[in-house]
Amino acid sequence: DAGVIQSPRHEVTEMGQEVTLRCKPISGHNSLFWYRQTMMRGLELLIYFNNNVPIDDSGMPEDRFSAKMPNASFSTLKIQPSEPRDSAVYFCASSLTGGGRETQYFGPGTRLLVL
């Protein structure tokens, strides 16, 4: 299996621009998670989906952030407009929930820099 795939790996943009991060989960997994990692706040969950349905988006910082999962093999995290404080590494993870198989597998991350 190719593992969780994220694109782009690096993104540099200017304040005010729209940023779209993409994730392809492991085939057969039914849960998908978006995390953000910063020096100040560490790793924090932004949103997670189960069977393509958003279950908990309480970690989404504000309305500038939105996430979608149109099908089982693709998800996007969009920031519009972006701000310098959004600079972070964004990780996508997937898992097969139920029956003690709750291990989350992480992608390599997207390193975002907003100037």
Q: Which residues are at the interface with other proteins (CB under 8 A)?
A: 4, 31, 33, 35, 42-45, 48, 50, 55-56, 91, 93, 95, 97, 100, 102-109
Of 18 and 102, CB closest to other proteins: 102
Shortest approach of other proteins to residue 38 CB, angstroms?
11
Backbone angles phi, psi at 7, to 5 degrees: -145, 150
Of 82 and 95, CB closest to other proteins: 95
- Whole-angstrom CA distances from 65 to 103, 104, 114 are 26, 23, 14
Of 19 and 93, CB closest to other proteins: 93
Q: Which residues contact 49 (CB under 8 A, 6 or more apart)?
A: 31, 32, 33, 55, 67, 69, 75
